[in-house]
Amino acid sequence: MSGSMRTGVWLVGARGSVATTAVAGAAAVRSRLGTTAGCVTELPDFQTAGLPGYGDLVFGGHDVAAITLPKRAEQLAHGGVVPPDLPGLVHDDLAAADAEIRPGTPRVDDGLTQAEIAELLAGDLRSFRERHELVRVVVVNVSSTEPPAVRSGAHESLPALEEALGSGRPVLPPSSLYAYAALRAGCPYVDFTPSTGARLPALDELARRQRLPYAGSDGKTGETLVKSALAPMFAARGLRVLAWSGTNLLGGGDGANLADPTAAVSKTVSKERAVRETLGRPVEGEVHIDYVSELGEQKTAWDHILFEGFLGVRMSMQFVWQGYDSALAAPLVLDLARLVARAHEAGEVGPLAPLAFFFKDPLATDDHRLQVQYETLRAWATSLGAGEPQRGPGTDRGPHPSSSPQQGSPA
């Protein structure tokens, strides 16, 4: 990688806990104020991948919330997610990012079609890229989880979608409208939530036409991370999992949103996938997500796994995971922004299967075995660095037409 690496990171949900921690964290790392624990791309395996540095990242985003990033960071410090003195130390970086936050979709009610809204969103992205002379902008959705979307015929092809977008009736859920706008503006898109995002045939078609990569879905930060390490253990030992039950207690904004049962559906479906797909069959047991406001930014998950061993004997394993979701997610958001930026530079197009390591519900693969995912990621990143990237399953690649800010405009 040569020349300027100044890379935009555009966060949908830019004033949420994850986004704020990512912005504050990047500033802290840049200024050597904090450790990079939890950053995968800081491991020795990724030092030759040619990724943009933390100092090359410029932040902006969409959000409807009014609170400023410096204020939000203070709340997070109070909740234990970031060190108490950090908000003060990185105040200027937070304020700079805050100045790049634009209001999000609620402009819908102004009587605009989704096509018109998308054009406004894309305009925000193009303007951000030009104003800061960025080589590219990666859009990452870290907003609240949506309820499951109803699929319609308009989702099946790009022409059908574009016709419907101009019709006046809403056809895309917000996450997909952002994805559409990002791709239109020539920006790779990452969905860190279980929302629909770019997972529609019409959007895949658009990404390929624009020669853009995209990634998702649903960052694997805690309980599901552990599941994807443990389920393969049982499988590899021939121990038959009979039931896998889980309860997640969480406060914060994420907890309040997931207390809404319709949003929770998207989440629990995504959480159950790793076990079912690793074991190759459905397994008894429920997953609960309980909102416990007093937990603040902390999350506690308990899982109980009942399994059968030799000659039918019953045994069990339980685990308790106690973490800060935002502190677990933020470094992964930075990892994804860096890796997807590099993938875009290298000309990768379509869903990035080698990034499955980061997701509960990965695109273009159903292998949830964490170590296998890691090896795939490592090999892919190494190949990106070598300039002869290995083709990840489900990922096309050809010569990238251009990485100039103009690239996306024809869309």
Q: Two tokens at 224?
A: 């599901």
Answer for which of 128, 357, 359, 380 binds its own copies (CB under 8 A) is 357
Query: Exposed, middle or buried by CB within 10 Å (0-12, 13-18, 19+), for 402?
Result: exposed
Answer for which of 11, 12, 19, 39 binds its own copies (CB under 8 A) is 39
239 binds its own copies (CB under 8 A): yes
Distance CA 332, CA 359 (A): 10
In this complex, which beta carbon is closest to its own copies, that of residue 209 or of residue 281? 281
Residue 115, phi then psi, degrees to nearest 5: -60, -45
Beta carbon of residue 240, minimum distance to its own copies (angstroms, whole number): 5
Asked if 351 and 217 count as a contact pair (C-beta separation under 8 A), the reply is no
In this complex, which beta carbon is closest to its own copies, that of residue 247 or of residue 383? 247
148 binds its own copies (CB under 8 A): no
43 binds its own copies (CB under 8 A): yes
292 binds its own copies (CB under 8 A): yes
In this complex, which beta carbon is closest to its own copies, that of residue 205 or of residue 290? 290
Beta carbon of residue 132, minimum distance to its own copies (angstroms, whole number): 25
In this complex, which beta carbon is closest to its own copies, that of residue 32 or of residue 169? 32
Q: What angle do CA 87, 138, 114 make, to 5 degrees?
A: 105
Beta carbon of residue 237, minimum distance to its own copies (angstroms, whole number): 6
Positions 82 through 121 that interact with its own copies (CB under 8 A): 82-84, 86
331 binds its own copies (CB under 8 A): yes
Residue 235, phi then psi, degrees to nearest 5: -60, -45
Window contacting its own copies (CB under 8 A); options: 48-56, 147-155, 326-334, 380-388: 326-334
In this complex, which beta carbon is closest to its own copies, that of residue 183 or of residue 327? 327
Beta carbon of residue 284, minimum distance to its own copies (angstroms, whole number): 6
In this complex, which beta carbon is closest to its own copies, that of residue 293 or of residue 404? 293
Answer for which of 64, 75, 201, 374 binds its own copies (CB under 8 A) is 374
CA separation (Å) from 21 to 17, 171, 191, 194, 271?
A: 6, 32, 17, 20, 23
Residue 217, phi then psi, degrees to nearest 5: -125, 150
Positions 269 through 288 that interact with its own copies (CB under 8 A): 284-286, 288
Distance CA 63, CA 11 (A): 8
Positions 216 through 235 that interact with its own copies (CB under 8 A): 225-226, 229-230, 232-233
Beta carbon of residue 339, minimum distance to its own copies (angstroms, whole number): 14
256 binds its own copies (CB under 8 A): no
Question: How many chain residues bind its own copies (CB under 8 A)?
Answer: 76
Positions 181 through 210 that interact with its own copies (CB under 8 A): none
Window contacting its own copies (CB under 8 A); options: 97-105, 112-120, 132-140, 244-252: 244-252
